[in-house]
Amino acid sequence: MSLRYWIGLFSMMAVPAFADPAAGGPAADPGVLGFKAVDIDGKPQDLEQYRGKVLLIVNTASKCGFTPQYQGLQALYDKYKGRGLVVLGFPSNDFLWQEPGSSAEIKEFCSTRFHVTFPMFEKIDVKGKSIHPLYQYLTQQSPFPGAISWNFNKFLADRSGHVLARWGSKTTPEDPELVAALEKALGI
């Protein structure tokens, strides 16, 4: 393998240093809180607003065999939001075009079919050349790297934005391991 290959590989693995101008040196990695996204209503959002909250970040789709997980995600949000949980839904059309709708259609589907009240964002890419920076971080720089396998992959982040755990599509929101990790992060 060429030197160019190895340099490219190592540069993808490198965790960026975050400048702290006040201290004149590197600052702590803000984790998922260092990113911005556009919500389902088209408003730019700084994920820093969720500092102090435990986050469950999920790539979603409306026409997938795992779509009923919206119900479980909403149940988790309802049960634990008073203790600091926020579920963040990121629709994606990356897997067999299972999220073809517009933001308005996705919002209506989620709210009428599953009564979703947790924050939803506009459709993004969670893999490939146009991957959203948040998902680039989650899949390449978090402690749980690896490509998103399908819709409804889940990442748990602590109150400081650091990723604590990751689950695939087959792990439901009701899974005892997921719930235990969530409760531990919430201090329950």
Q: Which two tokens stand for residue 11?
A: 């540069």
Could you give the 3-state DSSP secondary structure of residue 33?
helix
What is the DSSP secondary-structure string of 34-99?
G-EEEBTTS-EEEGGGGTTSEEEEEEE-SSSTTTTHHHHHHHHHHHHGGGTEEEEEEE--TTTT--
**Please, how many CA atoms are within 13 Å of residue 44, restricted to the half-sphere of its CB?**
3
Q: Annotated catalytic, 64? A: yes
Residue holding tokens 């947790």? 118
State the DSSP H helix or E strand holding residue 20, giving kind and residue range, or none if neither: strand 18-20
Dihedrals φ, ψ of 60, to 5°? -120, 170
- The one catalytic residue in 34, 38, 45, 64 is 64
Q: What is the gyration radius of the CA atoms in the chain, in angstroms?
A: 17
Catalytic residues: 64
